Amino acid sequence: MNEQVALVTGAASGFGRALTETLTGRGVRVVACDVDEAAGTELAEACGALFVSCDVSEPEQNEAAVAVAVEEYGGLDLAFLNAGVAFGTQLGEGFDVDAYRRAMGVNIDGVVFGVDAVLPAMKARGGGSIVATASLAGLTPVPMDPIYAANKHAVVGLVRSLGPTLAGDGIRINAVCPGFAETAIIGPIRELLLSEGLPIIPVREVIDVVVDIFDGEMSGECWFVQAGRESQAFGFRGIPGPRG
């Protein structure tokens, strides 16, 4: 990865922070993006990344972040579209429309706008690799947070559909789908998970998978990360074909 250029969203904490530290340690020049300017600036200063304030739910801010990568480092090779938020409100129980729009704006719009922004730079480079953070919630029903499941399912469908679409440009796209991992997003339910005996995945395990995806050759796949299991591309069943 040495001398490559990467864009990381949601970089100020969790998976984004850990990957930024990992990539810069491998000689990758990283543009670290987040809405948390204080934590993002501290991260950049600590590991030699370049911080850009970016709300991924706004297409222009995604484009501006990519422009910084191109202007400062000459191009873009890798993108980790990772910014995400939880939702938690049930339908029919004081539904918060603003919170809903924010969740969808970050979790799915942020990936769509991110992909749209990075593609021209990667095509100019002759190819690249994109990893989007989805979740096991994108592979299975999640009764406790159906809206989160809905936008993560959308990320999974987007990645699977774009895999063959981008192949001709030498661009790979995959999703990483972790279970409950040690990030801020599980904060409200962390004690419940522990009381139920559910293991919490260390951030490092997820980042090792992300790096393996970047180093690999597959595209259009969704890699699950689950405690006690070796990560691999999830095996989707094909839909039934038409009958004559």
User: What domains are defined for the chain?
Assistant: 5-231 (3.40.50.720)
Yes or no: say if 202 and 182 are a contact pair by the CB < 8 Å rule. yes
- Which distant-in-sequence residues (6+ apart) come within 8 Å of 97 by Cβ? none
148 is catalytic: yes
**What is the pLDDT at residue 200?**
79
Can you tell me the mean pLDDT for 140-148? 89
Yes or no: say if 171 and 127 are a contact pair by the CB < 8 Å rule. yes
- Among 51, 80, 113, 148, which one carries the catalytic annotation? 148
Predicted model pTM: 0.94
The CA–CA distances, whole Å, from 178 to 81, 111, 209, 227, 234 equal: 14, 17, 10, 9, 12
Yes or no: say if 121 and 70 are a contact pair by the CB < 8 Å rule. yes
Can you tell me the mean pLDDT for 61-87? 96
